[in-house]
Each structure stands twice: as C-alpha cells, then as structure tokens.
Structure 1
C-alpha cells in the first residue's frame, strides 16, 4: 500500500531545508520502506544514513540520500500525523457531540476520529471498537503507550446500547488484552443521567481500579448537550443536586484510593463542582493533572498559576477599562480574583457570555463563539479600552472561533483592541501591562 505524507512546513536551517524539501512535497518511503504515519517515520529516521523517496508537486519522484546524526531531526511538518486516512468512528453514541453540531460549518468539525495513533500522539480518546489484530500487534511491538480510552461503562450490554454496536460490548476483553501487552491507559467516562451513573458508575470505577497501575487514571465528564438534538437520543443534563450526588459518590472512591495507592485515581470534570456549587478540590488532589486536556482540574490549575504569577502594580496614568470574556460557569471563578486584583486606574469587567450558538445549557468557556461575544458586548455600555478573549475558545492551532469568527472581527465590531489570554499568566500580564 502507498502512503503519502504531505509536507506542510519546513523549519529554517533544518535538514529538510538543506536537502531541498518544500511544502507540497509528498514523502513516500524511507530507506525503501513505506511509512504510514509519523510514528513509523520517527523510527525510520533513527538511522544515520537515510534515503527518502519524495514525490514532487509535479508528480515526479526523486530519491534523496543524506547522512545525519542519530538524534538529529528532519525539521519537517506534515499536514496530518497519519499518511493514510484518519480512522473515523463508526459508533452511534447516544451522547456524541459531533452529532449535535449545527449544519454549514467547516468539514473538519464533523470528523469523528477514532484512531489509536492519534490517541498515542496527542491524547485523543478512542473507543477501541475498530481495533484489529494487526493494530494490537503494532501497539505492542512499538509500545505505543499510554493510550487514552473512552470506556463510558464496563457493562458490555450497556456499552453496546450507548455506543450503538456489538463490538462495543467487548471493552473489558480489549482493556485486558492491552494491559497484558504492557500498555498503560488513561480512561474516561462521559456520564449520562439515567444510563451509566449511579450503580453502573460504581461498577465501572471498581472494574477499572482493579486494573491499576496499568490503568493510570479515570476521568468522569458530564454529557454535553447542545440545542441541535432533533435527531439525537433524548438525554438530560445533570442538575445541581445530581451533580452533588456524583461528587459524593466519587469522593468516597478518591478517599479510599488515596489510602491504598496515595493517588485519587478517579477525577471529576470541573463542571460537576461548578454546577453543584462545591469547592474545587485542592491542587495536590489532582496528582499532577494527568487529564488536564480533558477539562479535569483546569480551574484549580488556573487558580494556582494566577496566584504564582507576579506582576507590577504601579498602575496606569489614565483610566484603563478592560473587558474579560468567559463562559457562564467561569464567571464565578474570575470575579472574586479581579475583586482582589487592585491596580491604580484599572477597571476590570467580567463579561459572562451566554452560549446562544450551541444553547444556554452549554456554559463552558471553551465552546464560546465569536458571534455570541460580539452580540453580548454590544449590550454593554460604558468605557472600554480593550477586550481579552479566552484562547481556549479558539480552534487548536488556529486563531479562529468555532463559528469561523476571528478576534480581528471582534475588534472591528467593537472598535477596540482585542488580545488573547491562553493561560492565567497571560491574563494577569495583559491586565497589568495593557499599554
């Protein structure tokens, strides 16, 4: 089979630049062997004598031979980490967020990847339902560990129902097979009221904890529901009281786990605590934040970084009015911080934006759209020197919101500068040194 790794960028002063590679070239073979992804490529480039078979944009093929140091990188970036096609999800999950996206958006937003290679490389969660014997052998041979697995429930019959396929019921068999091969796993549960919560959640935590330390962590996140659910399975969100019950249930497990293994093992998404009005757990209880990208401990990590970041407080010579944008759930976290952040002539206004695009049940900052931000800000009067938008709401690797609005469009609509804060340090520095 022929794989094509399409080159998107060449780093300056790299080997790739030196040997004449340019964006648009396709990598076909390394040392006479086809490579199907950047995992294969990294192993192939460990050699010191390299032969690359390249297909130029003209269609002409060229063999490039060169020598390199053992640990010297090629300095080439590719359009995709996989050179065949990203494996897409064939499941019909009752909670799938992609199925709740509005029509007419960019094609990439509708891709449901379920590729173990992206799990290893980037921490994407996979269901294992499309994993074949060759995949398991390759995972074992190359020791692609850790992997990130969407378990949802260890009850096979219930998992078949929730994921919409017979293959989904083999989850415990698949997990045990990977563990026997020496593969470590991070796992997650998308918790749906009336389906995999309560006693089912108890069973899932128990089953996965018995596989510690091969299973490194378990994250529990609440189901996300948008207003585009006309053809989706009927689901409800967690009420404040139901969220509090989940917290109580998980806290018992965390207490036991800390006694036995000195780790919490199972972690809850921040939304549970915010919904229930409960205090966010301590920094230490997140054990190094193994699933921060999954929304586990983002608030506590933000608060710790905010506390640690030191800025000058000399203030401004004239009045400076900054609007800080966030989702509804984050407002209760940010407002107390700014009330204690005193800088002469600086006024900070927290603007909690209701999510009209996806629906008001979606309150997280990461799913805000530029259009909603613009419309909300237009309703606020008074002086405005500038706007700080949350970087977490921009698409990964791109300076654009999910609705294709850009920060520049927000600036043009409101006639003030717009700057982006990705982390607590950015936010604090922007507030202290806007001018």
Structure 2
C-alpha cells in the first residue's frame, strides 16, 4: 500500500527546518520502514538515531540521517494524520446526519470517517464495524487507549437494523476483546425515539456499566433531524414528555453509579434538559466532563466559567447596543444570564436564530449558518453597535460557517463590527470591554 506523508508546515527553529524539510516534501520511510500514520511516526521518531527517506516536491528522493534527543519532535505538520487513507463508514445508519446534508456543500461535509486511529488521536467516535483482526492486534500492541465508540445499543439484532449491517451486531464481542486487551473506551448512544430508548436504553446502560471501569463513560445524545430527510428512515425528535422520561431513567442510573463508584458514568446531552425545561445538573455530577466535546455538560461548564470571569469594566461613556447571537436552545440559558449583567450604557440583546438552513428541529448553536444569522439580524429593528457570534458555529480551525459565510461577510452586510466568543470568558470580556 502507498503511504503519503505530505508535509504542510515546518516549524521555525525545529529539527525539520534545520535539515531543510519544506512544505510539499513527502516522508516515504523512517529507518527503512514505511509509516502509515502519525502514530507509527511518533514511535519511529522516538529513537535518537533516525534515517529519513524524503521525496522532495520536485520528485527527487533524498536519504537524511540525523541524531536527536530521545523523543524529540521534528516540528513537522502533515496533510493528514493518516498517510494511507481515512477509513470510511460503510454503515447505513437510520440516524446518519451526513445523509441529511443538502446537496452542493463542500466535499468534506459528506465524508463519513470511521477510523480507529482518528478515534485514538482526536476522540472521533467509531462503530468498530470495519475493525479486523490485524487492527485489533495493532490497537493492543500500541495500546491505543482510550478509544471512542458509538454503541447506540448493545442489542445486536437491533444494532444491525439501526446501522444496516451484520457486522454491527457484534458490538459486545468487540468491546469485550478491547477490554480484555487493556483498552479503555468512552461510549455514546444516539437516542432515537421508538428504537433504542426505554427498555432498550436500560439494557444498554446496564451492559456497558457492567464493563466499568474499562468502559469509562457513556454519553446519550438525541438524534438530530434536518429538513433534508426525503430518502431517510422516518424518525421523530424528543418531545418535552419523552425527554423527561429519558432524564428520569438516566438519573436513576446516575444515583446507582455514584453510590457504587462515586462517578455518574452515564451522562445526558444538554438538549434533553433544555427540551424538558429542566435545570441543568450541578457541576459535580459531570465529574471530569469526559464527553464535553459531545455536547455533554457544555451549559454547566459555560455557566461555571461565566461566574469565574470577573467584570473588568465599569461601563461605557457612550451608549453601546450589542447583539449576542445563539441558537434557539441557548436562548433559555443566555437571556436570564445576560439580563443580570448591568453596566452603564450597555444594552445587550440575545438574538436566537432559527435554523432555516437545516430546519427548525435543529436548535443547537453549533449548526447555525452565516446566512441565517444575516437574515435574522437584518429583520430586527433598533440600534446596533456590534455583533458577537458564537465560535462553536465556525468550522474547526477556520473562521468560516458551514455555508462558507465568514464573519467579515456578516460585518459587511450589517455595517457594524463582528467579534467571536468561543466560550463564556470570551463573551463576558467582549461585553465588558467592547473597545
């Protein structure tokens, strides 16, 4: 198999810069062996004496021998974390969000990765349906732990129906093999009303908790439904009543787990509490926030950071009118919070933007588009000095929304400065010191 370790950046004053490596160069071998990903590379570069076979962007190959400190980094960044090819998902999940994307968007939004290496490196959730014997052996040999696994249900027959394949039914067998080899896992369930909730959810929690502490945590998130579901399996969202039922079931398990092991183990995404109109659990019940990136505990973490951040400005000499943009769900949190922020000459308006792009069922802030934000703000009357947009809605590592709109475009359309708040600290600092 051909591996393409294409260098995209060389840090200044690094070993890579000293030996003349440059963006566009390709790393072919380390110590005579091809490396398939940055996991292999990190092990290969742990030695003090290293031999690199490099192909320059011109096509010329060069053998470079160097001495370095043990575990010293070369200062290289690559086009991808995997040098062969990212493994794609072959499942046909009834709840797949990628299948609900509109046509005509950038190619990266249609990629369904299901690669255990990205799970270990970045916390991406994988289904294990494409995991072979060699993969399992490599995971154990390199101790790639923890992994993040999308379980959805421990009922093999039901999982086959939900994921669309026979391999999906082996989930408990696969998890047992990983655990037996000393691999820890974080797990998640995408909960679909009428499928894997109720008694099935009870069974899943029980089965996974039975593998604690090797199964480190279980996150339960609600199915996300966009308006682009013409060829998808019929599903419904969680009503307030159904969300309340899920909360009661999970809270009973949390009490049991905390009594036995001083940890909640199973955690609900914030959307359940917001849908049911219930208070977000206390900070302590989230333990170390093991699945914050999965939308579990973001509200509680936000509130805690907001309280920790002091008010550093006494107010303004001139009137300031600031619009704070968020999704429909977040309005329930931000409106009472910001109403208590009293600074002279500062007027804050929370603007909850309905998601017309994906549909009204999508209420989270992270899936807002720049186009919807512009349209919503243009329709609002009154004065406006500036706009604060949510950083969570921007593409990771880039300053652009899902529809390729940029904050600069919003600023040009609305004629006022636009600034980005990535979390509570940023938001309070911007409001207290807009200048």
TM-score (normalised: structure 1) = 0.99
CA distance in 1, matches of 2:128, 2:180: 16
* Count, aligned residues: 435
CA distance in 2, matches of 1:237, 1:2: 44
- The answer for the alignment partner of 1:231 in structure 2 is 231
- The answer for the alignment partner of 2:271 in structure 1 is 271
- Report how far residue 49 of structure 1 moved: 1.1
CA distance in 2, matches of 1:164, 1:426: 43
Q: Deviations over 1:228-262 (max 9, x none)?
A: 00000000000010000000010000000000000
CA distance in 2, matches of 1:307, 1:86: 41
- The answer for the alignment partner of 1:27 in structure 2 is 27
Q: Which moved more, 1:57-66 or 1:396-405?
A: 57-66
Is residue 76 of structure 1 aligned with residue 72 of structure 2?
A: no
- The answer for the alignment partner of 2:291 in structure 1 is 291
Is residue 364 of structure 1 aligned with residue 364 of structure 2?
A: yes
- The answer for the alignment partner of 1:242 in structure 2 is 242
- The answer for the alignment partner of 1:58 in structure 2 is 58
Secondary structure in 2 matching 1:167? helix
- The answer for the alignment partner of 1:204 in structure 2 is 204
Q: Which moved more, 1:336-345 or 1:115-124?
A: 336-345
Q: Deviations over 1:248-302 (max 9, x none)?
A: 0100000000000000000000000000000000000001100000000000000
CA distance in 2, matches of 1:232, 1:145: 34
- The answer for the alignment partner of 1:109 in structure 2 is 109
Secondary structure in 2 matching 1:218? strand
Q: Is the 8 A contact 2:313 2:433 kept in 1?
A: no
CA distance in 2, matches of 1:433, 1:410: 21
CA distance in 2, matches of 1:161, 1:249: 24
- The answer for the alignment partner of 2:342 in structure 1 is 342
Secondary structure in 2 matching 1:50? strand
- The answer for the alignment partner of 1:130 in structure 2 is 130
Q: Is the 8 A contact 1:146 1:183 kept in 2?
A: yes
Is residue 120 of structure 1 aligned with residue 123 of structure 2?
A: no
**In the TM superposition, what are the counterparts of 1:281-430 in structure 2 within 5 Å?**
281-430=281-430
Q: Is the 8 A contact 1:330 1:365 kept in 2?
A: yes
Q: Which moved more, 1:319-328 or 1:304-313?
A: 304-313
CA distance in 2, matches of 1:423, 1:78: 29
- The answer for the alignment partner of 2:255 in structure 1 is 255
CA distance in 2, matches of 1:430, 1:48: 47
Coordinate RMSD, CA, aligned: 0.7
- Report how far residue 313 of structure 1 moved: 3.0
Q: Which runs of 5+ in 2 are unaligned?
A: none
Secondary structure in 2 matching 1:293? helix
- Report how far residue 333 of structure 1 moved: 0.2
CA distance in 1, matches of 2:63, 2:407: 44
CA distance in 2, matches of 1:391, 1:427: 10
TM-score (normalised: structure 2) = 0.99
Q: Is the 8 A contact 1:324 1:349 kept in 2?
A: yes
Q: Deviations over 1:163-215 (max 9, x none)?
A: 00000000000000000000000000000000000000000000000000000
CA distance in 2, matches of 1:54, 1:396: 30
- Report how far residue 344 of structure 1 moved: 1.1
Q: Is the 8 A contact 1:157 1:169 kept in 2?
A: yes
CA distance in 1, matches of 2:393, 2:354: 14
Q: Deviations over 1:7-51 (max 9, x none)?
A: 111111111111111111111111111100000011111011111
Secondary structure in 2 matching 1:221? strand
Q: Is the 8 A contact 2:282 2:300 kept in 1?
A: yes
- The answer for the alignment partner of 2:185 in structure 1 is 185
Is residue 36 of structure 1 aligned with residue 36 of structure 2?
A: yes
Is residue 152 of structure 1 aligned with residue 164 of structure 2?
A: no
Is residue 139 of structure 1 aligned with residue 139 of structure 2?
A: yes
Q: Which moved more, 1:19-28 or 1:167-176?
A: 19-28
CA distance in 2, matches of 1:391, 1:50: 41
Q: Is the 8 A contact 1:2 1:28 kept in 2?
A: no
Secondary structure in 2 matching 1:34? coil
CA distance in 1, matches of 2:403, 2:410: 12
- Report how far residue 70 of structure 1 moved: 1.1
CA distance in 1, matches of 2:401, 2:93: 26
- Report how far residue 71 of structure 1 moved: 3.1
- Report how far residue 311 of structure 1 moved: 2.8
Runs of 4+ aligned structure 1 residues displaced above 3 Å come to none
Q: Deviations over 1:373-395 (max 9, x none)?
A: 00000011211111110000001
- Report how far residue 2 of structure 1 moved: 2.8
- The answer for the alignment partner of 1:170 in structure 2 is 170
